Structure 1
Amino acid sequence: MRLKFSYVLAIGLAAGIGIWMYSGTYVIGGRGDSADATPPPAERQEKAGNDLFRVQVSTLTATERQPVLEIRGRTEAEAKVEVRAETAARVVERPAIEGNHVSKGDVLCVLDKGTRESKVLEATAALAQAELDHTAASQLNSKGFTAETRVMAMQAALDAAQARVEEAKMELSRTVIHSPIDGVIQSPMANVGARLNIGDVCATVVETDPMIAIGQVSEADIGLISKGMDAEVRLISGQTMSGTVRYIAPAADPETRTFRIEVELPNKEGVARDGTTALTRLKLPSQKAHKISPAILTLNDDGELGLRGVTDDQVTVFYPVKVLGGGEDGIWVGGLPNTVRIITVGQDYVTDGQKVEPVLKTAEVTQ
């Protein structure tokens, strides 16, 4: 009886497999042959599950910070007075010159006196006649030759004459216009020969000492400012002046919700001019704060800005912070403990409450 070829082939393959298995030489799928070969995926996953995620940390300690509030504004003269004529006449003399400094009482303009001097003389003569009439009536009344009402009428006439003299003298004095304050004369002035009517401007006097730096402060910062605070004002020209806060508006501007403040600046040398741009810097009370790189800031699930740190138990924690200010080399934040370990690398790859392996900033970090 002949065997089929397929039976013979099957018997041969079975015998060969049995001999190979008996020899002990076999390959496990997914595992390398050499000692330093990559472990299989299952082994690698199991090992990764046992290792903690490494993060780079740095210890921060709060330092004393001197915050400064910057207020952009402008300068404003202490007073600006338009000196106006109180009588109508032609300008015959102008002793003052634009740009010159004048003191209180200095003559700015002299007007034509016209007939005002003669009216003073006329009123003075009428006063002398009234005095004689009053004296005569009083003597006659004392002797019983005239009535008391006559004396009273003469007294009224005397009072009226005195009033006319004062009025005439005042009208004459109005022809000389004086400066009401110390300051600098601003152009333009009334020219010699020009006629000034009542209310026309002879000159404008600007009082520049002291000079005032004004600005607007937001409602969030107004509570940090108080009267008498020292201030430093930098002018657009680059010059710096020192002054003090003298006024804080009691009510906010309804349109901008900001408060006007005024800083008084001594200006004897005339360094500051009216209407120029100025930057006012106010030193606020010192406070504890941390200076950090803005690159390590992150957000939590609620969208709060803050930093992630690591506790002594190596558990991550989120610290909300408030940005207080900044500069070229970092920003100042508040709201952190006095001494804290902050994650500087890897803060975006961990969650709050996760156990991690912190590595100091000086050590090499491998992920």
Structure 2
Amino acid sequence: MRLVPLITAIVVALSLTIVILYRDALVAFATGSSLEESVAIAQGEAAPAMSAAAAQPVEDTAEVETPKDIRHKPVGVVAVHSTASEVDGAVILRGETEAARQVELRAETSGRVISTPLRKGAEVAEGDLICKIDPGTREASLAEAEARLAEARATVPSAEARVEEAKAALEEANINQNAAVKLSEGGYASDTRVASARAAVRSAEAGLASAESGLSTVTAAIQSAEAAVAGAQREIDRLTITAPFGGLLESDTAEIGSLLQTGGLCATIIQLDPIKIVGYIPETEVDRVEKGARAGARLANGTREVVGQVTFLSRSADPATRTFRVEIEVPNPDMAIRDGQTAEIGIEAAGEKAHLLPQSALTLDDEGTLGVRIVTADNMADFVPVDVMRDSAQGVWLTGLPETVDVIIIGQEYVVPGVSVAPTFQEPTQ
């Protein structure tokens, strides 16, 4: 058990002895130099030689030092001569098509459908029958209401006759009263007769009031009967559901034999001619658009372009997006444009001068401002902020630049304002 520590101690002692006795050889092996050089370095003899060697590169560096004029050699870039052009200031946005009108026809009464169904996609005209409901006992109810109305009207002549009779009795009572009063004043009639005449007048007045009340009752009965007839007729009218306008069926009508409850869906009709194209304008552009302005749209499939005019511009912004709804009315006689298609919209606005440049010419300065780098009159690079007016297949239309300007389109990322450049110009179409 004590043999292993003893062997370990012997190995460590031998290793230390070798390191101490052969230190120079080990250093030379580690540095890759000869033994003599290692010994000289250890004794400090190589210091003068190293100083001389260190001095030689200084002389070489001085000999190949770049002259001052070469260090400031202009940077080669490619630029174009750009002149601003008048561009129509159309407001570009994306939107979608929307049916001019859409309605869900629902039942106003309950009953079983007895009409043959129409299939979705069918074209209907205003007033066409869409759904018809079984009348049931509604026609009998109408006949009963009409009979009551006729009965009430039949009592009118007798009620009017009683009124006229009561008026005549009142008139006679008034005459008798006047005669009794005059005779009483001349001493030819007693007070009893006068009182009796006055009582007859009161009785005649009460009879007239009763007759007029009976006539009013008859009139009320007639009005009630007329209301019952109108209600029964209205209930029968609700059995027939017709198209309120011409259009296309977006869904099948209710199947024959099905039970429609009040509020049940009969069919959905949409009107596609004319059709609306709806978009949302940002608040920065809304003041450039006016109601009645010409507008065009290109459908997402790229196969159709249409022209119309702005018919509505919202005065209230969407609370979530802070944009304003705009509607454009477009003719669609063949109904080829469907509801819900994506469209790119261009709305006519005031024109503005802009430069058409490659999108690759855009860059950012140290503050993150979008712009382009230009060549000044003294062939120096400079940075000019720009605004993107419109994007197109040929490039981007930019505003914020002078009328004529030399814009760097290749190499703009390798220069900063104030750097001398050697521009090579190419045609804008290249």
TM over 0.5: yes
2:396 maps to: 331
Hey, what's the Cα distance between the residues in 1 that align with 2:300 and 2:379? 53
Amino acid at match of 2:120: E
Match of 2:120 among 84, 89, 98: 98
Deviation at 1:288, TM superposition (A): 0.8
CA contact (8 A) 1:96 1:107 kept: no
Are the aligned partners of 1:57 and 1:358 in contact in 2 as well (CA < 8 Å)?
no
State the Cα deviation string for residues 340-363 of structure 1 (Å, max 9, x = none). Answer: 234456655555346x4755626x
Q: Does 1:254 align with 2:319?
A: yes
Query: 1:162 and 1:350, CA in 2 relative to 1: closer, same or farther beyond 3 A?
Result: closer
* Deviations, residues 31-52 of structure 1 (Å, cap 9, x unaligned): xxxxxxxxx657x725548977
User: CA 1:57–1:107 in structure 2 vs 1: closer, same or farther (change >3 Å)?
Assistant: closer
Q: Does 1:214 align with 2:288?
A: no
Please say if residues 73 and 216 of structure 1, whose CA atoms lie closer than 8 Å, have aligned partners that are also in contact.
Answer: yes
1:85 and 2:107 are equivalent in the alignment: yes
Aligned residue number for residue 135 of structure 2:
113
Structure 1 position 71, deviation (Å): 2.7
1:231-250 pair list within 5 angstroms: 231-237=295-301, 238-250=303-315
CA offset digits 1:23-78 (Å, max 9, x no partner): xxxxxx98xxxxxxxxx657x72554897777665432111223544433322212
Match for residue 289 of structure 1? 354
Q: Which residue of 1 aligns with 2:212?
A: 148
- Between structure 1 and structure 2, the one with the greater Rg is 2
- Which residue in 1 is equivalent to 2:50? none
Q: Which moved more, 1:160-169 or 1:209-218?
A: 209-218
Q: Which has the higher strand share?
A: 1
Correspondence for 2:224: 160
Measured in 2, the distance between the counterparts of 1:344 and 1:111 equals 74
Q: Equivalent pairs: percent with the same residue? A: 36
Task: Give the corresponding residue for 2:267.
Answer: 203
Matched positions, count: 324
Query: What TM-score results when the alignment is normalised by the length of structure 1?
Result: 0.76
| 1:200 Cα deviation after fit | 1.1
Q: TM-score, normalised by structure 2?
A: 0.66
Residue 251 (structure 1) shift: 2.8
Q: Which consecutive unaligned segments of at least 5 residues does structure 1 have?
A: 1-28, 31-39, 363-367
Alignment-derived partner of residue 251 in structure 2: 187
Which moves more between the two structures, 194-203 or 230-239?
A: 230-239
RMSD: 3.0
Quickly say closer, same or farther: Cα 1:171–1:294, change in 2 above 3 A.
closer
Q: 1:177 aligns with which of 220, 238, 241?
A: 241
How has the CA–CA distance of structure 1 residues 341 and 260 changed in structure 2, closer, same or farther, with 3 Å as cutoff?
same
Amino acid in structure 2 at the alignment position of 1:226: E
Q: For residue 274 of structure 2, give the secondary structure of its aligned residue in structure 1.
A: strand
State whether residues 75 and 273 of structure 1, in contact with CA within 8 Å, keep that contact through their aligned partners in structure 2.
Answer: yes
Q: Is the partner of 1:92 in helix, strand or coil?
A: coil
Amino acid at match of 1:175: L
Once the two structures are superposed, residues 195-239 of structure 1 have per-residue CA deviations (whole angstroms, 9 ceiling, x without a partner) of: 212111222211222212223333333333332222222334522
The match for 1:135 among 132, 147, 157 is: 157
Structure 1 residues 325 and 181: alpha-carbon distance in aligned structure 2, compared to 1, 3 A threshold: same
Q: Which has the larger share of helix?
A: 2
